[in-house]
Every structure is written in C-alpha cells, then in structure tokens.
Amino acid sequence: MMPVVLVAMMTLLILVLKVCSPSFGFKEWARCSGFGSMIMYTAVISGVLANLTPTEEVNGKRYLQRDTSIEYDSAGGVQAFSICYAGVFGLGFPFLLLFLYRSGLKNSKTEEDMKNTRLKYGFIAKGYSKEYFWWELLVLIRRVACIFAVVTTNDPSTQTTFVLFIIFFYTVLHLKNAPYAYGFLNMYEFVNLLCLQFSVFAQNVAYASPDNTVLNILAATVFLACQIVFLLTTISIYFCLAGVIRGKMGAWAGTSNSLPAFFMKLLAGVGMSAL
C-alpha cells in the first residue's frame, strides 16, 4: 500500500499548496507521485514477492514470510495477487511513465509543452541518451529478476548463482550499448555492475564452502574490496560533478550584473580558494 499512500499524500499536499499558490497543479502532482513511487520501487517489489518464500517447517507446516498466520500451501490466492501486483507496479507502471513521456514529447507543439512533459515524466529517462530513453525499464526488470531469484528459493547458493548470471548479462548489455548520455555515467554504472558481480561471486564462494576458512577469508576480502572501490568511485564522481557545477555557477555569475550573481561569484571564489 506504500505507493497508494504516497499518491494520496501527494494529492493532499498539492491541494494545500494550490490554495497558497494557484500555479501548483497536475504537473507537480505527477512528478512527485511518479518519482516518489520509483524511489520505493525495490522495497515494494521485495515486500510483495516475499509471499513466494515459505518459512521453515514448524510441526510439518510452512507459513508465509509476511504473515505467519497463513499456511504457505493454502495461500495460492495471496501469491497470485502478489505476482500480479509486482507485474503491474514493477513493469506496467514504469512502462506507462515512459509511454506518457514519449507520447508527450511527440505531441508537443511548443517548447512550453515539451518543457511541461519533461517536468512531469522526464525523470524516468534522465541521464540517458535520446535513443536509449527506455533503458530505465531494463534496469527495473533487472531488479525484479534479482528479487525473483532470491524469493523463489531458500538455498543461498542457488540464489547467488542466478543473481550472478543476471548481473553478468546486464553487464554485457551495458558494455555493448553504453546507454548513458555522459561517459562518466557509463563508467560509473560499469564499476557498479562489476562490483556487484564480484560481491555476489564472493558470497557464492562463502556459501558453497562454509567450513573452508581460507576461502571464507578470501571471499570476505573480495567483498570488502568491492565495497571500497565502489565507495571511492562514488566519491570521485561526486567531486567531479561538484567541480563542473561550481564552474558553471561561476561562469553564470561572472556574466550577470544582479546582486545575487555577485554573491554567486563571491561564493565560487571562496570555494576555489578553499581547494
């Protein structure tokens, strides 16, 4: 119910804001509701599909992970609803956003119409090249596939093996297409997928040989190294982006004559001296 509650809260908030400022309306509601739902995407899909995983047997009976008052073998209706919900929210909703985004751009007659469409639905294609505006849907399908691999079995080795193949497949797709509009974003995603691969591989090794101390230490070392590499890459890209933004803000302030521009120029100078 999280997305439903979010949409309801956004509706109330926009109505309140509209009383204070009549300019608030459907554009802001669509953007906030859609973007907020995408933020909680993984949590919602994981929670819903957890109904496919039974608990350990208790007195010869298994129960649902989310509600232990329901026996797993008699919960076919709950599981069917969970799969349908995951399909509608996990695939149907992002596909609808992409369809509205693409059709809105095609039907726009003025620059203002295109701007409004991007403000409402553009977050779903943000950062991607024009020809790969739909790539986010593939990323979300990857998440759903990984969640399915985890919830459909209780065997850790089987889970990690399936997840490893899924991530490897998407790594090959990413290298072949490079869907992001900027090179550093493609590099960042590649590092992310590579770190995920090695992390899952390390977990697979640990699960396969729980009594082998040497392999467990090696797996833990690889896992920790992947987290450090990803963290350092994230920090490096953050500073690169901060430098680019600072440069653009300084250039804008240098060509403006207003008082706010003067302060922007001053702040940019302070930032450069601090570095």
Written as tens digits, the pLDDT of the chain (275 aa) is 777 777 777 777 777 766 776 666 666 777 777 777 777 777 788 777 777 777 777 777 777 766 677 776 676 777 788 888 888 888 888 888 888 888 888 887 788 878 888 877 778 888 888 888 888 888 888 888 888 888 777 777 788 888 888 888 999 998 888 888 877 788 888 888 888 888 888 888 877 777 778 878 888 888 888 888 888 888 887 777 776 666 665 555 445 444 454 444 444 444 444 44
**Integer Cα distance of 141 and 135 in angstroms:** 10
pTM for the full predicted model: 0.71
Q: In this predicted structure, what is the pLDDT of residue 251?
A: 53
Specify the pLDDT at position 109: 79
Q: How many CB atoms lie within 10 A of CB 65?
A: 16
The tokens describing 96, both together, are 């609808």
Q: Are the C-beta atoms of 94 and 124 separated by less than 8 Å?
A: yes
Structure tokens at 159: 């889970």
